[in-house]
Every structure is written in C-alpha cells, then in structure tokens.
Amino acid sequence: MKKILIANRGEIAVRVIRACQELGYQTVAVYSEADKEALHVLLADEAVCIGPALSSDSYLKYSSILTACEITQADAVHPGYGFLSENAKFAELCESCGLIFIGPSSNHINLLGDKAQAKKIAKKVGCPIIKGSAGIVADVEEGMRIAENIGYPVFIKATAGGGGKGIRIAYSAEEFEASFNQAANEALKAFGNEGLYIEKMIVNPRHIEIQVVGDGSNYIYLGERDCTTQRRRQKLIEEAPSPSLDLKLRKKMGEAAVRLLKEVGYKTVGTVEFLLDESSDFYFMEVNTRVQVEHTITEELTRKDIVAMQIAIAFGDELQYKQSDIEFNGHVFEFRINAENPKKGFMPCPGSLEYYIPPGGIGVRVDSACYTGYKIPPYYDSMIAKLIVTGSDRTDALRRAKRALSEFKIGGIHTTIDFHLRMIEDQKFIESDYNIGYVDQLVEEKKLFPESE
C-alpha cells in the first residue's frame, strides 16, 4: 500500500486527503503547532507536527517535512498549492530521497517557473506573447530603454513571482525608476530573487487560464477558467466556461497551451495563463506548475477528477482520456470565501468561528477545512472555504449562487460573503462586461460598500 504525505494545510490538504483515500492510499498530514486541531489533521491516517506556527518554521521547512516522510515511511509527497508546491529545490530533494513528488519534475519547475524562460518556450511553439524584455533586465537603465521601445504603460514583474507580488506598473518614464526598485525589493523579500522582466501592459484585459494534463506522450486540455474578477491581482471569483470565448477561440487557446507543455515533455497537471484583450487576441502570461485553487470548477464542468489524475500520473499511469472525451456540463462559478472585512479594505479577520453552516443542495460544492469552533490562525492565507456552484447555464448558475451564498452562515468573524452577494447583482458582472481592473474600480469609487453603510 502506497502512503502519501500531504505537505500542506487547509482546504487543499483536505481535498488531497479525500482523493488519496478514494484511490486506496494511506495519508499522512503535517501540521504546525497552530494547526493541531485542523481538519486535515483529523482526517488523515497519520499526522506529524513539523514545527511552530510561522510557515518558515514549519510548512516551508524542507528538513521537517522530509523527516516526517522518513518517520511515517511515506512513498510520495503531494505539495498542494502555495508553500513548496513550485519550489524546485524541494522537488529535487524529494527525488534524491527516493520520494515520488506528485507534480512536475524539479527541472520542469525550474524551467517553467522562470517566467522569462517560459516566455521563450511559448514564443518557440507559436504561442502569442506580449512584447517585452527577452529575459531578466540587468538594471534600471536597460529597463527604461526597453520600456521606451515598446511604449508605456508597462508591467515590471518578478521573474520568480506569483500571487500578485513583485509587480508594478509604470505609466511613464518619470515613474519607471521608483516602480522598478519597488518591484525588485518586494520580489527579493517574497521569493529570494530580485530578477525582473518588462512587459507591455495590455489595457483592460480578461484573465483566462487553460487547464492541461499530460503524461509525457498524451496531452489534453480541460477547457478554460475565467479569472477576471480580481482585486489587486488576487482572484476572487472564477467561472467556466468563459463568457468571452467561443468554440474557435477556446480550441485555439487550448491547443496553444498543449503545445507549450508538450514541447518540454511536461508530466502532470499544469495551467497556462493568458490575457485576452478587447479584440479577442490572447497573449501568454505564465505557467503554473501545480494544481490551482480554482481547479474545482474545471472538475465540476468536465466531471474529471484533476487531483486523481495528478496522483495517477505521478505513480506512472498513463492518462486515461483523449481530447474527444472532454465535454462540458453547464456553467460553474467558484467564490473564494475569505476571513476578510470588505468594508475595511479587505482587512484580514482571523478568529474563532462561533458557527459555521455551509450551504448544500443540488449543484453546490463546498471545499473547506473549517467547522464550528475552529479558530482561524493569523499566520496563513485567509481562505475559509471555496463555494462552487453549477447551473445549466450562466444565468441558472448565478441564481443558484445567490441562494447558496445567502445560505452560507459564518459567525464570529467578518467574511467576503457579502462582497460576493453584491458582485453577482452588479449589472456589468451579470452581463460579463468587465475586466481585471473592475473590482478595484468599484472599491475605489466606494460603489460596493458606500461610506453611509
């Protein structure tokens, strides 16, 4: 019997544990001292404490996780998302210890996790790319020359970035130096890598990502996810299929994503992210070499278990599906329910859940690691749950979303439920007439939560 250690916490740890148990694998949870009563600890077959509350002393500590593998005689490690999921060094250590890393090889994480390198590969396979620097920019002076050449506004991005960190916008030459230095400093603190590249800013885009699965010879794409509803480049609501894509454009984007990952012999699940402009032209943005937070909506849309496929490929199985097997079933939304106060700038709001009553019924899925009495610690991501709703079409899914969000009752802390309820009644959202800057605009103009409230 193979045993899988889940090197993560929260809802993704619970999600992976459930998939492992359905496949017949034993599971090992790891936890920090702050997570000793967490749901993933209660659900796993075994659990090992790996250190104090801070991530740097627990969930990000290679030696503690590898020691837990040795103690429990685990055969494989599933990194979930975040933490060490895209850390090539950790993947390499797992490989050298004889552990199966349930994800891409360390070489692929290195290659595709470097945005500048990934961009070169995308260009090679004919995937449209945004104008910008050929690689890492040496200094401010070189960056300014590139920006002048491609035209303002430009993005200044961390090559090892993610989650909206290490990104600045320069609208003019006068702003460039300060923005460049700010991005470099933030990137160094967040990722230990101050490398930056320059990219032309696509005005008013939508954010579209393609889910790809490959076993090294057979590759498929499971459609797209529209992640345009963001605040400060942090996703809040995702949906599939995208209202902005027709069959022809979906096929074109899907095939481009497959070509990119097939070019390097990628073996596992991966997501290729694109920007879609107002003329329906799309541009490569980056590759995420892990399971995504929003993988759930693709699972509901296609009735395919992405985590199960990820585990099977890691253990050497061939992908069981062909592109012709992929069909869509209705329309799906995911709402990220976070412990944040939207009325106070989405300020984090950790604390004890006096009550936690998730919604149910047909077409409703809730992925969470919370329960009544659980105390949300202040040390990690503020996500409480992911509410996933499916309808026969987009209108039907929005009706169900309103019911499910209204039914979701959480006491003791502030959450983003009220934000989501207001968003789904916004006319531009209903008509899908918005871009990635829309929520920031609504917040800035105080249209979602007027000061009078």
AA letter at 188: L
Between 3.20.20.60, 1.10.8.60, 3.10.20.30, 3.40.50.20, what CATH number should domain 3-102 receive?
Answer: 3.40.50.20
With 90 as the cut, is the pLDDT of residue 73 above it?
Answer: yes
Residue 306: pLDDT band (50, 70, 90) is: very high
| E strand or H helix that includes residue 304 | none
Hey, what are 342's tokens?
A: 């939207």
Hey, what are 277's tokens?
A: 């402009």
With 80 as the cut, is the pLDDT of residue 49 above it?
Answer: yes
**Distance between CA atoms of 191 and 83, rounded to whole angstroms?**
11
Strand ranges (E), 52-195: 76-78, 100-101, 154-162, 165-170
Question: Which superfamily does CATH assign the domain made up of 131-200 to?
Answer: ATP-grasp fold, A domain (3.30.1490.20)
Q: Does domain 206-444 have CATH number 3.40.718.10?
A: no
- 3-class secondary structure for 218-231? CEEEEEEEEEEEEE
The model's pLDDT over 159-181, given as tens digits with 9 standing for 90+, comes to: 876 667 789 999 999 999 999 99
- Omega within 30 of 0 (cis) for the link into 378: no
Active site residues: 290
Q: Torsions phi, psi of 197, nearest 5?
A: -135, 160
The domain locations on the chain are 3-102, 131-200, 206-444
The model's pLDDT over 399-435, given as tens digits with 9 standing for 90+, comes to: 999 999 999 999 999 999 999 999 999 999 999 999 9
- Reported residue count of the chain is 453
**Distance between CA atoms of 118 and 139, rounded to whole angstroms?**
21
- Mean pLDDT of the region 134-155: 92
The chain-wide mean pLDDT, for the chain, equals 95
* DSSP characters over 163-177: TTEEEEEESSHHHHH
Query: Strand pairing partners for 198?
Result: 156
What is residue 452's predicted lDDT score, i.e. its pLDDT? 54
**Distance between CA atoms of 96 and 90, rounded to whole angstroms?**
10
User: Is the model's pTM score more than 0.85?
Assistant: yes
**Distance between CA atoms of 363 and 361, rounded to whole angstroms?**
6
Share above pLDDT 90 across residues of the chain, in percent, rounded to a whole number? 88
- Mean pLDDT of the region 213-231: 97
